[in-house]
């Protein structure tokens, strides 16, 4: 831990030295909520979000906050190690070509619904999920946009790895928007003491609305996992095509970083909201990606109680997307990747929204959380597909 802010109703415990002003204001809003448990924790990749900062961890008693989970419910990482020790540039390009043929990126979906066996199985679909289910069958197995990616990497263990970052596509956004709006309406009706300017409308956990949100949120978490799993299956097929079947894969590592769930901390059962933060229980395997062109990490949790057993979910932004497109040098960012021999898709100024220069230094982020996780494998990027 780097510092503690004690000026608010509850402490803010921070695993970073520098924090942007808006993110700090949002953290102070969290610390002044009447149902906060113990303190607010900010991971080393913290930056401004909607209502709650990305990289924040909030434990609450008796309420759940849709905006403290966010719109990409269940967004997270998966990674898989292969038995390969090397792949040259031509081979990587062949693999990436196969990936692009089978996995839609950006706003694109599959033209046809995917087999329903890939969808999470439940006895009965809930309200918003049912409304958007047909679209979701076409979106499963697709990457999405923004900071989502598929990356082929070389590990410090000597093996080639595959890593995927993606979420619940439009389904999670629809669920998040519906229940955040519902929470706002109810908070206004109840004359809630939480200012509307906080954008942290809540649902008491005993209400029908909270039960419905939890059910739909959990479905979206499962859908996001199923989405990553299907993409990884198709990446495996790409490897098999190029290597003529002579490649093997270890078990999938999967973690989410946008969700809320019941956990026991400081001897109380509470709802822990992680918005751009990863659970890091003692011995738990995790994934911390860098920015495009920088290292990523397979980590093991240390179970630090002060962080509610959490760690960062990545490097964390220092520039908004539009700012990065305006201010970063296309030539410099392309050179940075080319000098490392990374196969990438940065071609135009508009592609700079996800360039390395828009993100924090991952080495500093990792240095700030040595009490949260220990590094098991360092991963250097070889080729990347961006959403």
Residue 379 in tokens: 């991963």
Structural contact between residues 139 and 148, judged by C-beta atoms closer than 8 angstroms? no
Q: What is the DSSP string of 174-241?
A: HHHHHHHHHHHHHHHHTT-SS-GGG----EETTSHHHHHHHHHHHHHHHHHHHHHHHHHHHHHHHHHH
Which one, of 197, 215, 192, lies nearest residue 205 by Cα? Answer: 215
Residue 137 in tokens: 């069958």
Gap between the Cα atoms of 91 and 262, Å rounded: 45
- E-assigned strand segments in the chain: 3-5, 12-14, 36-47, 54-60, 63-64, 76-81, 149-155, 160-166, 203-204, 253-256, 258-265, 268-275, 277-279, 285-288, 296-301, 310-312, 373-386
Secondary structure letter of residue 365 according to DSSP: H
Gap between the Cα atoms of 35 and 149, Å rounded: 36
Gap between the Cα atoms of 179 and 68, Å rounded: 12
Q: Backbone phi, then psi, for 2, in 5-degree steps?
A: -100, -40
Structural contact between residues 4 and 40, judged by C-beta atoms closer than 8 angstroms? no
- The catalytically annotated residue of 110, 313, 344, 348 is 313
Please say if 313 is a catalytic residue. yes
Supply the residues annotated as catalytic: 313
């Amino acid at each position: 831990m780097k510092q503690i802010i004690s000026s608010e109703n509850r402490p803010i415990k921070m695993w970073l030295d520098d924090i942007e002003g808006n993110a700090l204001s949002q953290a102070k809003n969290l610390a002044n909520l009447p149902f906060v448990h113990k303190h607010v924790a900010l991971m080393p990749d913290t930056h401004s979000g909607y209502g709650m900062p990305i990289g924040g961890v909030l434990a609450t008693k008796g309420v759940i906050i849709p905006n403290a989970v966010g719109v990409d419910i269940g967004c997270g990482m998966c990674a898989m190690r292969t038995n390969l020790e090397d792949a040259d540039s031509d081979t990587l390009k062949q693999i990436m070509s196969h990936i692009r043929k089978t996995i839609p990126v950006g706003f694109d979906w599959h033209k046809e619904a995917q087999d329903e066996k890939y969808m999470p199985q439940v006895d009965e679909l809930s309200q918003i999920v049912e409304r958007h289910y047909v679209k979701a069958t076409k979106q499963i197995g697709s990457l999405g946009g923004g900071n989502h990616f598929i990356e082929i990497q070389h590990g410090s263990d000597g093996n080639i790895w595959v890593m995927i970052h993606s979420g619940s596509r439009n389904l999670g956004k629809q669920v998040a928007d519906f229940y955040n709006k519902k929470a706002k309406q109810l908070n206004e009706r109840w004359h809630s003491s939480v200012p509307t300017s906080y954008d942290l409308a809540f649902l008491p956990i005993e209400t029908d609305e909270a039960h419905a949100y939890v059910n739909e949120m959990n479905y979206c978490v499962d859908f996001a996992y199923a989405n990553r799993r299907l993409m990884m299956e198709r990446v495996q097929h790409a490897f098999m095509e190029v290597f003529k079947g002579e490649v093997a894969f270890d078990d999938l590592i999967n973690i989410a970083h946008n969700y809320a769930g019941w956990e026991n901390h400081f001897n109380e059962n509470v709802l822990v909201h992680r918005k751009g933060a990863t659970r890091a229980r003692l011995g738990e395997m995790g994934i911390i990606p860098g920015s495009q062109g920088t290292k990523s990490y397979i980590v093991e949790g240390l179970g630090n109680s002060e962080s509610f057993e959490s760690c960062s979910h990545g490097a964390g932004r220092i520039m908004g997307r539009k700012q990065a497109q305006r201010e970063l040098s296309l030539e410099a960012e392309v050179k940075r990747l080319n000098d490392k021999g990374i196969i990438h898709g940065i071609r135009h100024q508009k592609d700079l929204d996800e360039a390395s220069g828009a993100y924090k230094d991952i080495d500093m982020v990792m240095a700030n959380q040595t009490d949260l996780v220990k590094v098991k494998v360092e991963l250097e990027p070889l080729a990347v597909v961006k959403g």
